[in-house]
Amino acid sequence: MSLPPTPEPLNPGTPEPLPRAPRRKHFASNAGFIVLAVPLAAFLAFVIYMFVYLSVNGAPVLSWRFLTQAPVNGMTEGGIMPCIIGTILVTFVSLVFSIPVGIFAGIYLSEYAANNVLTRLIRSSIRSLAGIPSIVYGLFGVALFVSALHLGLSILASGLTLGLMNLPWIISTAEESITAIPSSFREGALALGTTKWEAIRHNVLPFAFPGILTGVLLALARTMGETAPILFTGVTYFTRELPTSLMSKFMALPYHLFALTTQHDQVMKVRPIAFGTALVLLALVLAFDAVAFAIRMRLAGANKWQV
């Protein structure tokens, strides 16, 4: 995918390079910064160790059969295919809701919102939503979707609960990407007599698209790994049938991992399957993260590597 030409930096607000310190030898100063680097290095080393550990222990379990078979013999053998399908379905449902709503809200906040009480209320609400624990979304999902709207325990109820949770993430990245488009793009179109919407559609959204896509992919990756919101809205320990409709209960990768490690009566016997499940989930999440970051790197590359 080729990026649109950007005559001006995408983020006009990013700071200029740090001013240079006086050129003297600062032994104590450098030593200080080396001490500061230790916690960061420890943190990054932990992240890498965890990834390697899960890969090493999960890889031997992975096989084509593991990915394409249903669990058998009380989940002690077989694969995790229904969990992969469940996770994909429920994430898809959540995004069908949150992508359009999130982008529309992002457009409103960056293009239409005046500096008034209403806008401050909207922004504050969205930031607050982003900070609400996922288990609280789970409770809300039980009260609203499962019970009040009679969706029962279903893919639809779980998907919508996840959709509400990832909505604020999508709104904020969409708003950011749209705001980063220079105002001259809009003014050019408006000067030719277009309406505001036409200017946004033709001269702003196409250029904001890579940024919006990055946000959507990151939201997708995080949504796939969420367990608490689906715990009581439709995910199930084991089901013989694959989902037949959006009203079916379903199995999901994160819950499967949780169930295998804490709910199963032969915890040690299913440990290899748990490792395999963890690795598959992690690989799926990281794959979407990687695509998102690749797009962001290209954007940043066009903008001299500023984050």
Partner 1 sequence: MRRTADRVAHGVFLAAALLGVIVLLGILVFLFAYGVKAFKEIPVFRFLFGTVWNPDAYGTKQFGLIPLLWGSFLTTLIALMIAVPFGIASALFIAERLKGKVRVVVKTMVELFAGFPSVVLGFFGLVVLAPLITHVFHVSSGLNLLNVSLLLAFMSLPTIISVSDDALRVVPHSYREAAYALGATPWTTALRIILPSAKSGILAACMLGFGRAVGETMAVLMVAGNAPIMTKSLFEPVRTITSTIAIELGESSFGSAHFYSLFALGAVLFLITLGTNLLAETLIKREKRSFML
**Interacting positions 223-242 with partner 1 (CB under 8 A):** 224-228, 231-232
Distance, CA of 196 to CA of 82 (rounded, Å): 47
Among 63, 65, 104, 241, binds partner 1 (CB under 8 A): 104
In the complex with partner 1, the residue whose CB is nearer, 18 or 245, is 18
Among 8, 56, 60, 112, binds partner 1 (CB under 8 A): 112
Residue 78 in the binding site for partner 1 (CB under 8 A): no
Q: Report in angstroms how near the CB of residue 155 gets to partner 1 at its nearest.
A: 18
Alpha helices, DSSP H, located in 108-204: 117-131, 134-141, 155-179, 183-191, 196-199
Residue 176 in the binding site for partner 1 (CB under 8 A): no
- DSSP track, 129-154: HHHS-HHHHHHHHIIIIIIIT---SS
Q: Which 115-154 residues touch partner 1, going by CB under 8 A? A: 121-122, 124-129, 131-140, 142-144, 147-148
Among 88, 101, 247, 302, binds partner 1 (CB under 8 A): 101
Q: Report in angstroms how near the CB of residue 249 gets to partner 1 at its nearest.
A: 13
Q: Report in angstroms how near the CB of residue 196 gets to partner 1 at its nearest.
A: 6
Among 50, 67, 72, 149, binds partner 1 (CB under 8 A): 50
The answer to whether the Cα torsion of 208, 182, 304, 46 is positive or negative is negative
Among 2, 5, 28, 73, binds partner 1 (CB under 8 A): 28
In the complex with partner 1, the residue whose CB is nearer, 181 or 281, is 281
Distance, CA of 303 to CA of 262 (rounded, Å): 47
In the complex with partner 1, the residue whose CB is nearer, 66 or 108, is 108
Distance, CA of 233 to CA of 230 (rounded, Å): 5
Size of the site for partner 1 (CB under 8 A): 100
> Token pair for residue 263?
């709910």
In the complex with partner 1, the residue whose CB is nearer, 69 or 119, is 119
Residue 278 contacts residue 83 (beta carbons within 8 Å): no
Q: Which 243-302 residues touch partner 1, going by CB under 8 A? A: 254-255, 257-258, 261-262, 271, 274, 278, 281-282, 285-286, 289, 293, 297, 300
Residue 64 in the binding site for partner 1 (CB under 8 A): no
Among 111, 151, 243, 295, binds partner 1 (CB under 8 A): 111
| 78 strand-pairing partners | 71
Distance, CA of 198 to CA of 190 (rounded, Å): 9
> Token pair for residue 228?
């608490």
Residue 55 contacts residue 279 (beta carbons within 8 Å): yes
Residue 180 contacts residue 10 (beta carbons within 8 Å): yes
Residue 253 contacts residue 84 (beta carbons within 8 Å): yes
Only one of the segments 1-9, 33-41, 60-68, 206-214 lies at the binding site for partner 1 (rule: CB under 8 A); that segment is 33-41
Only one of the segments 68-76, 111-119, 208-216, 243-251 lies at the binding site for partner 1 (rule: CB under 8 A); that segment is 111-119
Residue 205 in the binding site for partner 1 (CB under 8 A): no
Among 15, 115, 116, 117, binds partner 1 (CB under 8 A): 15
Buried (b) or exposed (e) across 252-285, using 16+ Cβ within 10 A? Answer: bbbbbbbbbeeebeeeeebebbbbbbbbbbbebb
Q: Report in angstroms how near the CB of residue 274 gets to partner 1 at its nearest.
A: 7
